[in-house]
Amino acid sequence: MLASFRRLSKSTVGTAIMGIILILILVGFAMGDIQSVISGGGFRGSSDTLVKIGSKTVTDRDMSRAMERRLSQARQQNPSADYASIAADWDPLLNAVIDARTVEAFAHKFGSVLSKRLVDAQIANIPGAKGLGGKFTDASYQNFLREQRMTDEEVRMIVSSGLLQQLIIAPVVVNAKAPVGMATPYASILLEGRSGEVAFVPTAAFRQGLNPTSADIDRYYAANQRRYMVPEQRVLRIAKIGPEQVTNVQPSDKEIDDYYKANGATYGSKETRVITQAVAPDQATANAIVQRIRGGQTFAAAAAPAGFTPEDISVGPQTKEQFTATAGANVAGAAFAAAEGATIGPIQTANGWNVVRIDKIEREGGKSLAAARPEIVQKLVADKRKEAIEAIVDKVQDALDGGASFPEAAAAGKLTPIETPPLTASGTSPANAAYKFPADLAPALKSGFELGEGDEPVVDSLPNDGGYVLVAPARVIPAAPAPLASIRDRVTQDWIASQASQRAQQLAQSIASKVGKGSLADASKGAPVAVKVEPVNARRIQLSQFQGQVPPPLAMLFILGEGKSRLVAGGQGEGFYVVKVDKIIPGNALNQPALIGRTQQEMQQALAEEYGAQFTNAMRQTVGVKRNEKAITASKARITSTGS
């Protein structure tokens, strides 16, 4: 069973299911306490209960948290987004939450229980819960929870719901397949051909001679103020805490010397000795080996009568640490204190009597204090500067904790504050197009728009070891239309474009009403501007090459019936098209089995989604779903009307 689910996650259908689960995780549907609901015929529950699903509920707090997380996602793409701008997401989010709770209630009703071990395994695979080594660590998981503003219980609820959907819904949709008889008519539609005419009336042809009066501009501006809205602006107070605030961080000679001594392993040379050693079972044998060496024999020849082969006595290159591990501290100490060519021993150890010869001494690396001084100074300066910056941050934070205002906290840290011009959340200044918010202070911009006007200032860390920044909003300017005087040229051009568009549309509508059963060329005769008429021929299957961006006249060609005509606006405001369909040629896919096969595959996901929706609806009926429409409407109005 589990293997089939793993295969499912790699299929088209499985991807769709996992996508649904990911959406639910992103919106954080399982936020808030699960409240028990009194059973009965009518809707009963706490005042903030929006929907009751079996023994589960969806509350106002659940939807507040879901919309909060959705807004956070939206601001990654559009920093000025607010709840009003994502109001359209309310209903899909509510339905997603209801479906998730439905699966939970259905599983509970029929005794489907997930083991803690299975949930733990899924949590361990959350990327944010893994440490630098790629493995789950409690510290990383706790940091993940803080970043996501979630509790362990909330995460477990989300993971459990996702697993239940895999286990309950996946088997229903995994084998969704469109039969040939269903796919063939749809494939034939793709082969349908159409021919006709298209007449184009350009807007640009009507711009000449349009000169609005001052009253025209005033009326147009008054009627279209929403087009000229300037997003909320803020004046931010900022004080950077960085290297420039820190002086006198040069280390003393003693600090440099102490660091050098403390890091001898880094700056000292590495000594390796090539060693030959024999470990005799008794002192007499060891003494005999030593006597033969002193008599002029090689170590190998001297050790041979005692039964040692050259392989037995060859130890090879050794550091002191390595030789200590094999021969003991006494032998290693004597060996590394001796000169090259010396013979040491016999020395008694737990293994016997050691006779050692120092064949060669090799030394490499190492730096004198003078040579190492520049890098030591650089390291100590960086450390001292960091400590000094942290000390300033502590002073500023202590001041804030004591209730200090922005100027008072900046003064406590001896900081130099600056005040920005009025900015939007993207960091641009509507009053000064040349202004650019400093990129290295980006965290201050984000926090400055998250804080309320009366909130306590905050200290944010800057990227790339840039230090910290103290930030607070000094003034909040609500969103409002730009003053007409500042955008008069723009409004003038918009008025001209609007008038030209209206006139082009009137001409195009006139042509469309006159064409009847005749040609567009005849209907266009006598037009006040040049109207371009061209034949058009296409098959429906060609529309896919536009990847969802089908030109409006071509899309209209496949909407109209034979002999029909209609006006359609251009997609880029370039003008208006009149489309007339002269002939429709039905397609026949019976001779193209490959196309039928592709159509079957494309229909598979739609069928899987339909099966999943139908099964979810059946689960809703099984567990019982009761909506409090009055509470839902009030909750939606309250949340989506909030500016931020």
Q: Give the helix ranges, DSSP H, for 530-583.
A: 552-557
pTM for the full predicted model: 0.52
d(CA 389, CA 243): 7
- The label of the residue with tokens 């909040």 reads 476
d(CA 7, CA 639): 41
Which amino acid, one-letter code, is at 68?
E
pLDDT at residue number 644: 54
d(CA 165, CA 318): 61
d(CA 431, CA 184): 61
φ, ψ for residue 135, nearest 5 deg? -115, 155
Closest CA to 352 of 287, 294, 301: 287
d(CA 600, CA 607): 10
Assign 547 to helix, strand or coil.
coil
**How many C-beta neighbours within 10 Å does residue 394 have?**
12
pLDDT at residue number 374: 87
pLDDT at residue number 420: 94
d(CA 482, CA 10): 51
d(CA 502, CA 210): 12
Task: Extract the tokens encoding 308.
Answer: 């040692």
pLDDT at residue number 24: 41
pLDDT in tens, 453-486: 888 999 998 888 788 999 999 999 999 999 999 9
Closest CA to 576 of 560, 547, 548, 556: 556
pLDDT at residue number 140: 82
Closest CA to 241 of 377, 34, 352, 393: 393
Helices (H) and strands (E) in the chain, counts: 25, 17
Instruction: Kindly state the greatest CA–CA separation across the chain.
Output: 129
d(CA 630, CA 597): 49
Closest CA to 504 of 208, 196, 222, 219: 208
Q: How many CA atoms lie within 13 A of 110 on its CB side?
A: 10
Provide the terminal-to-terminal Cα distance of the chain, rounded to the nearest Å: 46
Whole-number average pLDDT of the chain: 85
pLDDT in tens, 204-243: 999 998 999 999 999 999 999 999 998 999 999 999 998 8
d(CA 588, CA 540): 12
pLDDT at residue number 133: 66
**What sign has the CA pseudo-torsion 390, 395, 401, 407?**
negative
**How many C-beta neighbours within 10 Å does residue 518 have?**
11
- Are 203 and 504 in contact, with CB atoms under 8 Å apart? yes
- Are 487 and 228 in contact, with CB atoms under 8 Å apart? yes
**Residues of the chain under the 50 pLDDT cut:** 1-46
Residues 6+ apart with CB under 8 A from 596: 180, 183, 184, 187, 589
For 462-478, the DSSP string reads PTTT--EEEEEEEEEE-
Q: How far is CA 631 from the centre of its chain?
A: 33
Which amino acid, one-letter code, is at 258?
D
Closest CA to 592 of 194, 195, 190, 193: 190
Which amino acid, one-letter code, is at 80?
S
Q: How many CA atoms lie within 13 A of 89 on its CB side?
A: 21
d(CA 225, CA 641): 20
For 416-434, the DSSP string reads --EEPPSB-TTS-BTTBTT
Which amino acid, one-letter code, is at 353?
W
d(CA 506, CA 205): 13
Upstream peptide bond of 346 is cis (omega within 30 degrees of 0): yes
